[in-house]
């Protein structure tokens, strides 16, 4: 199982590196960033493409080949890097580095907890799902209200929800492994889903830490 877990984390880190690389390269071309931001059709098209990839990968994972699953995951990570280019421009390098290191530490702690705990974390699934819905609703509301108080509430709820999801998704990796004995293809594909979930947990924790720490460019 350790080899399986290591492979999942390998893909997760590959996704994070790809996102960072694409984000850095795009951020270096201010004309391209301006074109994306000022073109609503393109900007929202990127958002829709990201959502579509996650939906397809999650819902069709048992029918996709391993190569297709990996390709979709890496394509998602690359496209997500385009949206991350805005973050590279909006925040100072110091705040990004601090948020990243803090995220890495807390993410690692929750992964260790999720791996070793004997508690059944699936009992918290509905609570975590409700938390995600709450974050989404409050985020939409705050688009119109632009309230700093609501922004802080979103950040606090996000922190607890994604810390919980990190431990939960880590425990689910073990369930994927033991639940697919005799089916190496399905096991490998579910490993890509595990990598995607942990990737999303890390990204959202990182964004939450950035909101807490501030450090926007002036």
pLDDT of residue 187: 83
Q: Is residue 218 part of a domain?
A: no
Q: Is residue 117 part of a domain?
A: yes
Q: Is residue 184 part of a domain?
A: yes
Determine the structural domain holding residue 100 and report its residue range: 2-213
Q: Is residue 23 part of a domain?
A: yes
pLDDT of residue 76: 95
Work out the number of other CB atoms within 10 angstroms of the CB of residue 99: 23
- Whether the pTM exceeds 0.85: the reply is yes
Q: Is residue 136 part of a domain?
A: yes
Which positions of the chain have pLDDT values less than 50? Answer: none
How many domains, in total, are found in the chain?
1
Distance CA 82, CA 42 (A): 11
Structure tokens at 215: 């450090």
Distances (CA, A) of 49 to 54, 56, 79, 83, 114: 9, 10, 8, 12, 31
Residue 99 makes CB contacts below 8 A (sequence gap 6+) with 91, 206, 209, 210, 212, 213
pLDDT of residue 145: 81
Helix (H) or strand (E) run with residue 80 in it: helix 66-90
């Amino acid at each position: 199982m350790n080899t399986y877990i290591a492979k999942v984390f390998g893909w997760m880190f590959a996704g994070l590196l790809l996102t960072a690389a694409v984000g850095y390269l795009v951020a270096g071309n201010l004309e391209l960033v301006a074109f994306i931001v000022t073109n609503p059709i393109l900007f929202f098209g990127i958002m829709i493409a990201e959502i579509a990839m996650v939906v397809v990968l999650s819902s069709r994972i048992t029918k996709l080949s391993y190569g297709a699953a990996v390709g979709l995951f890496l394509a998602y990570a690359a496209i997500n890097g385009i949206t991350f280019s805005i973050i590279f421009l909006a925040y100072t390098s110091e705040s990004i580095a601090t948020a990243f290191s803090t995220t890495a530490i807390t993410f690692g702690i929750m992964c260790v907890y999720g791996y070793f705990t004997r508690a059944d974390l699936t009992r918290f699934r509905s609570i975590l799902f409700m938390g995600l819905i709450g974050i989404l609703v409050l985020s939409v509301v705050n688009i119109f209200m632009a309230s700093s108080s609501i922004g802080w509430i979103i950040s606090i709820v996000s922190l607890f929800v994604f810390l919980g999801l990190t431990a939960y998704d880590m425990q689910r990796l073990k369930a994927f492994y033991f639940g697919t004995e005799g089916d190496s293809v399905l096991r490998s594909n579910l490993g890509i889903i595990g990598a995607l979930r942990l990737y999303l947990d890390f990204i959202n924790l990182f964004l939450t830490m950035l909101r807490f720490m501030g450090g926007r460019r002036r």
